[in-house]
Amino acid sequence: MAKLTKTIVDRADPREKQYTVWDSDLKGFGLFVNPAGSKTYFVDYRTPEGKRRRMTIGRHGSITTEQARKLAIETLGGIVLQKEDPLLERQTRRSSLTVTDLCDNYLKAAKKGLILGRSGKPKKSSTLDTDTGRIERHIKPLLGKTLVIDLKRSDISKFIRDVTAGKTAFEGKSDKARGKIVVSGGAGTAARTVGLLGGILSYAVSEGIIEFNPAQGVKRPADKRRERRLVASEFKAIGKVLGNADAVAWQGIIGTKLLLLTGCRLGEIVKLRWEEVSLDEQCFRLGDSKTGASVRPIGKAAVEVLKEIRSDKAAGWVLPGIRHPSDHIGSLDDLIEKIMTMAGLIGVTAHTLRHSYASVAADLNYSDNTIGAIIGHAGSGTTSRYTHRLDTVLVAAADIISEEIKRQMN
């Protein structure tokens, strides 16, 4: 037995059966010689539990003898000093999930109702659509190829910085006619996306994929999204446009008025059906909202708007599509943007209208719980008690709030 060198390795001729050439200087370092002529370096060692293992280092020709020796020293040194099992680690890494794999598994579980949201119920399809968008546009491009077992807090921090800086920002066409996809960066996007990532990694912990969540304890940027509210002069400017907006489809006019006078979410008005509207009781009985089935009180001012377009045999969508009346309106947010441009206002969205409704209610000294119950806010304790039945006190409050907004618009 001699020290393995290039000369010794080159002289090791193939035999009828595979055989081993050991290195005399480094115990456990050797070379397999295959009958076909290939030669492979390996290390032979015992695990901390006493099991004998052999792990290949590389094929001669792909690496040199000295390179193989250095790798063998590193491997055997790790076994002695850190009590590791390098072969088991290699096998574990080969079978480990990437972040892309984990995200796909998470979404499959969520679609089966196995992932619960903050309400303790399975995530809604609309929420899953949002989650999917954040995964595809931010998480996979930045972390998709990384093994989940390799994720560190520093990786999560870098992810936040990259999303905040707009590294994943994107603008392009969607599958819908004249549709557009706008993926933004910024602190708000980073905060919401890393919140989702933290949930995905918590799922990984629960599945035994990793032992702890690397996103836990990582400082997130403050999510300062959509805090803008309308002031009296802005309500008046919008009211003036809504009274003289012949250039805007009627769905945009009515939809904007309903958002202003009810505090509903954009999707709740877009998908509102006449079967869910009760003008006599002054309420919407929503079959599906962000917080599930919900009863929303509405004021007389909103009822008057609905009466403008309600026919004797009203059925189907309250706001039918402009080109395809059999479907609901699909461009209300665009129509709102057009109306706000005509009013000379910048940065006013459907959520701004909802937030402004709540702000006017607060100006009228209604409590957070009352406001939350009226607009169906998921964070309101009162909401859980009132969303499934109509309360006359809330109807009276909705009357006063919507009347005040109508007054400011006029």
Q: Which CATH class is domain 232-409?
A: mainly alpha
pLDDT digits (tens, 9 = 90+) for 40-93: 999 998 877 778 888 888 899 989 999 999 988 888 876 644 556 666 666 656
Question: What are the boundaries of each domain within the chain?
Answer: 6-94, 99-206, 232-409
Helix or strand or coil: residue 389?
coil
192 within 8 A of 134, measured Cβ to Cβ: yes
In the chain, % of residues over pLDDT 70: 86
Q: By 3-state DSSP, what share of the chain in percent is helix, strand and coil, each rounded to 5?
A: 50, 15, 40
Residue 363: what pLDDT?
95
- Rounded Cα–Cα distance for residues 236 and 240 (Å): 6
Residue 391: what pLDDT?
80
Residue 86: what pLDDT?
67
pLDDT of 96 > 90? The answer is no
Lowest mean pLDDT among 198-207, 286-295, 343-352: 286-295
pLDDT of 8 > 90? The answer is yes
Pick the CATH number of 99-206 from 1.10.150, 3.90.930, 1.20.1300, 3.30.460: 1.10.150
pLDDT digits (tens, 9 = 90+) for 135-172: 999 999 999 999 888 899 999 999 999 999 999 887 76
In the chain, % of residues over pLDDT 90: 58
In this predicted model, which residue has the larger pLDDT, 385 or 159? 159
Residues 6+ apart with CB under 8 A from 143: 99, 151, 155, 159, 197
Lowest mean pLDDT among 13-27, 72-86, 111-125, 309-323: 72-86
Sheet of strand 283-286: strand arrangement: 277-278, 283-286, 294-297
pLDDT of 387 > 70? The answer is no
67 within 8 A of 78, measured Cβ to Cβ: no
Lowest mean pLDDT among 105-109, 224-228, 370-374: 224-228
- Rounded Cα–Cα distance for residues 73 and 27 (Å): 10
Residue 382: what pLDDT?
41
Strand residues in 280-329 grouped as ranges (E):
283-286, 294-297
The top-scoring range by mean pLDDT among 179-183, 308-312, 329-333 is 329-333
* pTM of structure: 0.60
Task: Report the pLDDT averaged over residues 16-24.
Answer: 93
Lowest mean pLDDT among 175-189, 195-209, 305-319: 175-189
Taken as a whole, the chain contains a residue count of: 410
Average pLDDT, the chain: 86
Pick the CATH number of 6-94 from 3.30.160.390, 3.40.50.1170, 3.50.50.60, 3.30.70.270: 3.30.160.390
Give 114's pLDDT tier (boundaries 50, 70, 90): confident
In this predicted model, which residue has the larger pLDDT, 76 or 308? 308
- Rounded Cα–Cα distance for residues 284 and 327 (Å): 20
In this predicted model, which residue has the larger pLDDT, 245 or 110? 110
Residue 388: what pLDDT?
47
